[in-house]
Copies of this chain bind each other. A is one copy, B any other.
C-alpha cells in the first residue's frame, strides 16, 4: 500500500496542531487531548520529533513543545523521516546501497529515480500546507499532470 506508519500519521496531525498556534508551548497532555489520542503514544511521537530536530522542548511547569523552525520550512519529508527514517522506496535507493542483486535486477536505476521524484514531491509540501484548513487543491495536483504527459511521451 505504500502506507505511512500510524505513528507518522500521528506525528503529522500533532505537528499541524502545533503549527496552528506557533507562539505558545504545547504540553503533551494538551496535544493528546486536542487530537484525541492516548497520551503515552503522543508523547513518544513528540520525543521522536524532538530528536529529529523538528521540535524544541522545554521542561518544567511552563514547558512544552514548539516548532524548531517555521512551518514553511518543515516538509512532510522531514516528518516522515523523523519517524520512519529517510524516505527510500527500495533497498538500494539509499546511499550505502548494498544490494547484491544489482546486476540481475536491471531496475535499480529507474526505481531510484521514481524514489527521488517522490522525495522531491514530499519536500515540496510543507507543514504549513498540511496545517491549512483549506485543502491545497490545484497547486500540487495540476503540475503533476504535466509530468504524466512528459514521461509518457518519452516512451
- Which residues of A are at the interface with B, using a C-beta cutoff of 8 A? 1-4, 6, 9, 12-13, 16-17, 34-37, 72, 76, 80, 84-91, 101, 104-107, 109-111, 113-114, 116-118, 120-126, 128-133, 135-137, 139-148, 150-152, 154-155
Given A2-B118, A84-B1, A118-B121, A113-B141 contact (CB < 8 Å): yes
Contact of A120 among B1, B85, B101, B144 (CB under 8 A): B144
Nearest Cβ in chain B — how far from A4, in angstroms? 5
Give the docked Cα–Cα distance between A140 and B39 (Å): 42
Q: 28 A-B residue contacts at CB 8 Å?
A: A1-B84, A1-B85, A1-B87, A1-B88, A2-B4, A2-B88, A3-B90, A12-B111, A16-B107, A34-B104, A35-B101, A35-B105, A107-B131, A113-B136, A113-B141, A117-B140, A118-B121, A120-B144, A120-B145, A120-B147, A121-B121, A124-B148, A129-B151, A136-B151, A139-B151, A140-B151, A143-B146, A143-B151
Closest to A147 in B: B143
Nearest Cβ in chain B — how far from A38, in angstroms? 12
Q: Which residues of B contact A111 (CB under 8 A)?
A: 9, 12, 130
Q: Which residues of B contact A110 (CB under 8 A)?
A: 125, 129-130, 132, 135-136
